[in-house]
A and B are shown apart, each in its own frame.
Chain A
C-alpha cells in the first residue's frame, strides 16, 4: 500500500464528518450567543498559539519542571516564587503577539468594523489570552500544591495573587506592543521593565513595601499566617488601580487607530 494510502487509512480513524455532527448537535443544544462565543474563542485560540509560541510555552513548562526538581523546591515561599515567575512569563508570552497578529495579518480593520466599541474589542482579545494563562497555570499550581503540600485555600490565595499580577503584566505587554509593533521586542522590553521593578524591591527593600510591592507574598514565612489584612487589601487595591490605569492607557492607544492601521 502506498504511503498516501496509509495516510488516508490513518486519518480515517476518526469518523468522517464528526466535526460537522458535533457542530450540529451543539447548534441544537446551545443558544446562539454561546455558539458565537465558542466560535470566536476557537478562532482566536488558533491565532494565539502559533508553532513558535507553543514551543516557547513547552520550553517554559520544561524549564520550571526542571527548576523545581533541581532546586528541590519544598518550601511554600520557593513554590510561590516559581508560580509568580511562570505567571509573569506566560502573561508576556501570550500577549506580546496578541495584537500584532491582527495588525500584521491585516485583519484589524475587518474586526473593528464588526466589534463596536473599543472596550468590546479589548475584551474580545483579552478574554482568550487570559483564559489560557489561567488554564496553563493550573497544572503548575496543582503540581506544587501536591508536591509541597500546600492546603487548597492557600493555593487559591496564591492563584489570586499570581493571576492579578499576570493581568498587570498582560496589560503592560499590551501597552508596550501598541508602541513597539514587533512582538519579540515587546517581550524583551516588558521583561526588562518587570525585572527592573523586581530588582528595585529586592535590592532597596523600601519601607512599608508590603503596601505597594506588587510581587508581595500573602503569608508570613515563619508562622504561615496571613500578613496584615490592611496591607494586603491596600496592596491589591494599588495593583488594581495600576491595572485600571494601564487599561485606560491602552484604550486611548487603541483609539488612535491610525497608528495601528497605517
Chain B
C-alpha cells in the first residue's frame, strides 16, 4: 500500500531502571491507515505505546510527526494525539456525557462546539441512548466504546489504541474493528494487540514484537505466505490427541463428536499425514508458528 508517511519512529530503545530492556531497536514509518502491532504479553507493546503517547521517555531513538521531533514539541503533538490506554479507567460516579464533557474541556473544547462534538462521538460509538447513565453501570463493551469516544473528542490525527478488543464479545469486537477501519481513512491508527484477528481484519500493515525486538514488518498477507501449503486439518480420536500434540505443531482443536478435529502446521511444504486435508492458511496460523519458532530458538540458546 502506498501512503504518505506522517509518523516516523527511528531506532527507539527503552531500558527500565531495573535494567530490563523493554524495547531494543524499533523503527517504523506510518501514514493514514490502520497499523497493527502484534506480540505476546510482555513483548514491549505497551511500552512502545506509552512512549508514543509521551507518558514514558525513550532511552534513545527519535519519534517525529511530519518531520518534527515530538519530544521537542510535546504539547503540539498531544493536541493531535488520541490515546486509548490498555488499563484506562473512568470515574464511576459520573455519567458518560459528564466524563466526555470533562475530558473535552481538558482537551480545549468549549461551549456549543464541545456539546456538538460530544454528541458526535457518542453517535460514532453508538452510546447516545445511554449517555445519561452512570459509568459504574456500563458493560465492558460500553466502557470500551466510551474509551474510544474520549480518544476521538479532539479529532486526533493519530490514534493510539492498546489492546482495545480484549474483553469484548464477538459482536462488539467486529463492530470495534469496523470502527477502527473507518477511522483509518481519516487518521493514523496505531493498534496494539495480541488478538491476531484484529490485525488480520483491520490493518494495512503490521509489525511483530517479540522480547522487545521487532521481528517482522510488512503486509499481513505476505506474512501469511510463510505458512502457505503447510496448514492441514485432520480428524483423530480423542485418545490420540496428547501424543499428536507432542509430535506436531497444533494450531487449533475442535470437538467433532467422539473425535477431535485438529488444525496443525508441518515444518516444511510437504503433504500432510494420511487423512489430512490441506487448509487455507490465515494470519493466526502464521503468527502461532512464528511465535513457536521464536520460543524454540530461545530454548536452544545456551544459558548464560
Task: List residues of A whose CB falls within 8 A of some B CB.
Answer: 27, 32, 35-36, 39-40, 43, 46-47, 105-107, 109-117, 257-258, 261
Contact = CB atoms under 8 A, between A and B. Distances in A.
Interface of B: 16-17, 50, 53-56, 74-75, 78, 81, 83, 85, 87-91, 93-94, 98, 101-103, 105-107, 110-111, 150
Contacts of A43: 91, 94, 98, 102
B56 A40 contact: no
Contact of A39 (B87, B105, B107): B105
A36 B110 CA distance: 8
A106 B88 contact: yes
B107 to A, nearest CB: 5
B103 A110 contact: yes
The A contact surface, by secondary structure, is helix
A130 B196 CA distance: 49
A17 to B, nearest CB: 12
A32 B104 CA distance: 12
B54 to A, nearest CB: 8
11 contacts: A36-B105, A106-B85, A107-B88, A109-B88, A113-B54, A113-B55, A114-B78, A114-B107, A258-B16, A258-B17, A261-B55
A27 B89 CA distance: 28
B112 to A, nearest CB: 9
Pick the most buried of B53, B55, B103: most chain A CB atoms within 10 A of its CB: B55
Contacts of B111: 27, 32, 35
Given A32-B111, A261-B50, A39 B102 contact: yes
B106 A109 contact: no
B96 to A, nearest CB: 14
Pick the most buried of B74, B89, B101, B150: most chain A CB atoms within 10 A of its CB: B89
A106 B103 CA distance: 14
A43 B95 CA distance: 11
A39 B91 contact: no
A124 to B, nearest CB: 9
B91 A113 contact: no
Contacts of A47: 91
Contact of B105 (A40, A109, A111, A113): A40
B68 to A, nearest CB: 16
A27 B101 CA distance: 13
Q: 4 closest pairs, A vs B, by CB?
A: A106-B89, A32-B110, A114-B106, A116-B75
Contacts of B102: 39-40, 43
B79 to A, nearest CB: 8
Given A35-B110, A36-B110, A258-B16, A113 B81 contact: yes
A106 B87 contact: yes
A110 B102 CA distance: 11
A122 B123 CA distance: 34
Contacts of B91: 43, 46-47, 105, 107
